Structure 1
């Protein structure tokens, strides 16, 4: 009826951990889109639907927030791929992690790689991938120098292929891991060739 106030549903307050995840999600998207330097805390607060004061209750600075975003991406990647081991399922895990968090994957392997203050996180993950691949490859590639080359190329190829897949709109999600695996196997085969 006219004159009566409409009932407004009460706004549910988020628990601290839920709010933190909400902020991290918004920050991941914003940083992935514009990079560290061009993204302001106001942008992140607006994307999260909160005030800057609430953002500062969870994070002391933009640098801390960025680092926490990168840490969360790496934790997800390690959970999906396994830390320090290379198996046939490693590439499946890499693709799963990228599909679950494409902005985070792009942020870690594209944006953060160009941010001198934060590139170490990406390099650490890539170095772990390379070491895991090398432990596997020393068993199948006779020449030690070519095993090192193949391990570096396997990591570079897998990451680049996943980024290209994301950029192409994630075609054929059920087939992409097998196709990336075949590409990496081509690198391994090239390293094994004695001529």
Structure 2
């Protein structure tokens, strides 16, 4: 807890400290199972100080998700050409820089109806970017749409598995994620051999 011996932080720094602590706390159990007392303890402050910066747990959670989306969006970037190698590199870099935020956005938020729009917006953008690139590689429009919806899911799950494995060899991680996405594209391109009657 904040004591008289601790220096008083400027408002913006204190807010950032609370958001960072809340990200860690929420990433463990999600919104419903995380209490404000846990967040205050994680931040090393009192609940009263927390309420000076955020009106409610919902207000704080939205601030956390805004920050996660902003950082991950900056890492992935708006890149011409779709879901490119650089976008995959950015996705991994964003997850490495904020693993709690990445897990929160893609593991907890999709199961939280009140906040699902955060993950949905990010996923919709990834699907559109993937389709832009995959449509040029997969001639069948239905299979191109299928691959465009599946490729971001595979990428996200591959990055979460990489985080869970202890983040082995970040330089090789992007190649492996791209390989998994390549498997989706290859499956969409596959034309079965005609069977003989």
TM-score by length of 2: 0.91
Q: What does residue 87 of structure 1 align with?
A: 84
Instruction: Measure how far apart 1:10 and its partner are.
Output: 5.2
Contact 1:83–1:128 (Cα < 8 Å) also in 2: no
Indicate the residue corresponding to 1:64 in structure 2.
Answer: 59
Moved beyond 3 Å, runs of 4+: none
Aligned length: 187
Supply the distance in 2 between the matched residues of 1:118 and 1:39 (Cα, whole angstroms).
Answer: 15
User: Which residue of 1 is the match for residue 24 of structure 2?
Assistant: 29
User: Per-residue CA shift, 1:20-69, capped at 9, x if unaligned?
Assistant: 11001110010011211111111111110111111111111101111111
| Deviations, residues 109-162 of structure 1 (Å, cap 9, x unaligned) | 001111111111111101110011001111111000011011111101000000
Aligned to 2:34, which of 28, 32, 39? Answer: 39
Alignment check: 8 A CA contact 1:95 1:177 kept: yes
Report whether the alignment pairs 1:20 with 2:15.
yes
Q: Structure 2: give runs of 5+ residues left out of the alignment.
A: 193-197
The answer for unaligned runs of 5 or more in structure 1 is 1-8
Structure 1 length-normalised TM = 0.92
Query: Which secondary structure does the structure 1 equivalent of 2:7 belong to?
Result: coil
Aligned: 1:113 with 2:105? no
